[in-house]
Amino acid sequence: MPEAFERVSVINLGLEGFADAARDQGAPATNVDWRPPAGGDPDVLAVLERLWGRHGDRIAAANAEATARIEACRPMAVGVRRAGDELPWLGEGPRRLLHSGPPITWDRVCDPQRRAMAAAVVFEGWAPDREAAYRLLEDGAVELGSGNEHGHVGPMTGVCSPSMAVWLVEDADAGVRACSTLNEGPGDTLWFGVGGDVAIERLRFFRDTAGPLLDRLIARCGPVDVFGMAAQGLNMGDELHMRSQGTGNLLIRHLVPGFAALGGEETAAFIAGNHHFFLTLTMAAAKCASQAGQTVPGSSVVSLISRNGTDIGVQLAGLPGRWFTGPAAPVQDALLREGYTEADAALDIGDSAVIETIGLGGMAVAAAPTVASFFGGTAADTAARVREMAEICVARSQRFTLAPLDGVGTPVGIDARLVVELGITPQITTGVLHNSSGAGQIGAGIAHQPVPPFRNAIAGLADALDAA
C-alpha cells in the first residue's frame, strides 16, 4: 500500500509548508483545488493518521474486499410483492411505516415526509382521512422505522406501508435482498410529499393491478438483471439516478412479450409514461450490493448515505448498522420551477444515494450529457465531476463503464477517509421538494453531502480498530 504510506508521510510534515512539500513530492493532492487536508483540523488529522498509518494495510485490504463484493453482486428483480409479506418488521406490527433516511421521531419529521406518512395511513385504512391520520401519527399510534434498517429503500420521502406493492430484488448467492416501492411518477404522489387522493388511488392501482401483473410478467419473462440493464443504460444516456429513461425502456422491452400474452393495458401505459419507473429497481439493487459489501471489519467504504429531509445518516462497510448522522443539506446547483425560490426548498431527502455508493448516479454523470443542463454544465463538466468523484473512491467499476470517456469504469467504493481528507463529499443528483405547501417536486439539482457525518464515521472506525 505505498500510496497510503505516502499520504501519511505527507500529513506528518505538519501544516506549515504542506502544500509546497506535497507538490514537491508529486502527491495526488497537488492535482486538485488544494485545501489543507481535513480543513487543517488537528483532531481529524490525528484520526486520519491512525487510519492511513497504523491501520492502513488492514483498511486497504478490507476496502478492496468490500468493493469486490459490491462489484460481484448481481441483484435480480424476482417479483413484485406485498411489502408486509416480504419485510418482516413492517408486516409484524399492527401499524408500522417505513421511511427514508436514518431513524426519526414524528416531532422531527419534515413536512413532505409527514404528508406521505399520513397518506399511507389513509391508504392502509388505519384512519378515514388525513386529519385523523395526523392524530394517529402524533399520538404514536403508528410506529416509524428507517427503511434501511428493515430491508427497504425508498426515493425522496421513501414511505412504505404493509399493503404497498414493492419490487423484490435479491442476489441469492450473496445472501442479500431488498425491496423498494414502485415508482409513482410525477405529480400527486407520496414520494414527492403530496399524498392527495390521486396518490392514494394510485397506490391502490399498484396494490390491486400493476403489482400483481408485474409479478406475473416477471415470472413469465424472467427475472430482471437490474445491473445488466443499468450497464446498458449507461450507453443510453442514463446515469441511473436523475435519468433512467433508456434503462426503463430496456425493462419495457424485456416485458413486452409478457404484456402481449397477459394483457394489462393500463399498467403498460403507466410504465410507458413514467420516465422514472426504473429508479426504484436501481435503488433496491444498489441496496443489495451495498449490503453485500458490508460486514467487512475495518473497511472505510461508505455503505449507506441516506437522508430524511431532517438528518443525513452515513454508515460504513466496516461498522454495519451504526449510524453517523448530522443535519441534512440543502440541494445546491438546483434548477427550480418558475415561481419557486430556495426558501421553498426542503432539505435533501431520500434513500436514493445508495445508488452513488455502488458506482452509479453522481458517479456516472458523464454517461448522461443531457443531465449536464441540470447544473448548467457542459459534457466536459460531467467528465470533470466523474474525475472528482474518483478522487474519493477506492476503485473503478468493471461493469459500469463510460463510453464518452472511452470506456473507463465509474468510480466505486467511496472511501470515507478520502472524503474527510479532501473535503470532497459525494454528489447526489436528486429532486427538490417543497418544504411546507405540499406542492411536491419543485426542482432538481445536486446535493453535496455534508462532511461531519463522514468525520464522525472515520473517528468511530479508528476507535473500533484501536480497540480490536
Least Cα distance to 229 among 250, 245, 214, 255 occurs for: 250
Residue 181 C-beta: closest distance to a second copy, Å:
22
Least Cα distance to 8 among 54, 64, 60 occurs for: 54
- Total number of residues binding a second copy (CB under 8 A)? 35
Q: How far is CA 21 from the centre of its chain?
A: 38
SS3 320: coil
> 55 vs 276, which CB is nearer to a second copy?
276
> 13 vs 403, which CB is nearer to a second copy?
403
C-alpha radius of gyration, the chain, whole number: 22
Note whether 403 binds a second copy by CB under 8 A.
yes
Owner of C-alpha cell 465509474: 410
| C-alpha cell of residue 117 | 406518512
> 268 vs 328, which CB is nearer to a second copy?
268
Question: Using the 8-state DSSP alphabet, how is residue 331 labeled?
Answer: P
Note whether 259 binds a second copy by CB under 8 A.
yes
Note whether 369 binds a second copy by CB under 8 A.
yes
Least Cα distance to 57 among 11, 8, 103, 127 occurs for: 8
Number of Cβ atoms within 10 Å of the Cβ of 138? 12
Residue 269 C-beta: closest distance to a second copy, Å:
4
Note whether 13 binds a second copy by CB under 8 A.
no
Residues 75-134 that bind a second copy (CB under 8 A): none
Residue 214 C-beta: closest distance to a second copy, Å:
12
Note whether 246 binds a second copy by CB under 8 A.
yes
| C-alpha cell of residue 317 | 462497510
β-strand 302-308 against 349-350: which pairing, if any? antiparallel
**Do 462 and 50 form a contact (C-beta atoms < 8 A)?**
yes
Binding part of the chain for a second copy, among 29-37, 200-208, 253-261, 431-439 by CB under 8 A, reads 253-261
Note whether 237 binds a second copy by CB under 8 A.
yes
When binding is defined by CB under 8 A, the residue of 8, 236, 439, 464 that contacts a second copy is: 236
Residue 323 C-beta: closest distance to a second copy, Å:
39
Note whether 212 binds a second copy by CB under 8 A.
no
| C-alpha cell of residue 155 | 426515493
What's the CA gap between 149 and 327, in Å, rounded? 19
Residue 185 C-beta: closest distance to a second copy, Å:
14
Residue 250 C-beta: closest distance to a second copy, Å:
6
Q: How many CA atoms lie within 13 A of 149 on its CB side?
A: 17
Binding part of the chain for a second copy, among 133-141, 247-255, 278-286, 328-336 by CB under 8 A, reads 247-255
Note whether 329 binds a second copy by CB under 8 A.
no
Show the beta-strand stretches assigned E in 238-370.
302-308, 311-316, 324-327, 332-336, 349-350
Q: How far is CA 346 from the centre of its chain?
A: 17
Note whether 338 binds a second copy by CB under 8 A.
no
Q: How many CA atoms lie within 13 A of 33 on its CB side?
A: 6
> 15 vs 260, which CB is nearer to a second copy?
260
Question: Using the 8-state DSSP alphabet, how is residue 404 labeled?
Answer: G
When binding is defined by CB under 8 A, the residue of 47, 250, 358, 451 that contacts a second copy is: 250
Binding part of the chain for a second copy, among 89-97, 355-363, 368-376, 410-418 by CB under 8 A, reads 368-376
Note whether 15 binds a second copy by CB under 8 A.
no
Q: How many CA atoms lie within 13 A of 361 on its CB side?
A: 27
What's the CA gap between 378 and 148, in Å, rounded? 35
Residues 268-287 that bind a second copy (CB under 8 A): 268-269, 271-272
Residues 374-393 that bind a second copy (CB under 8 A): 378-379
Note whether 235 binds a second copy by CB under 8 A.
yes
Beta-carbon contacts of 18 under 8 Å, excluding residues fewer than 6 positions away, are 10, 36, 37
Residue 277 C-beta: closest distance to a second copy, Å:
10
Note whether 64 binds a second copy by CB under 8 A.
no
> 6 vs 225, which CB is nearer to a second copy?
225
Q: Where along the sequence are the contacts to a second copy (CB under 8 A)?
A: 235-237, 245-246, 249-250, 252-265, 267-269, 271-272, 369-370, 372, 378-379, 403-406
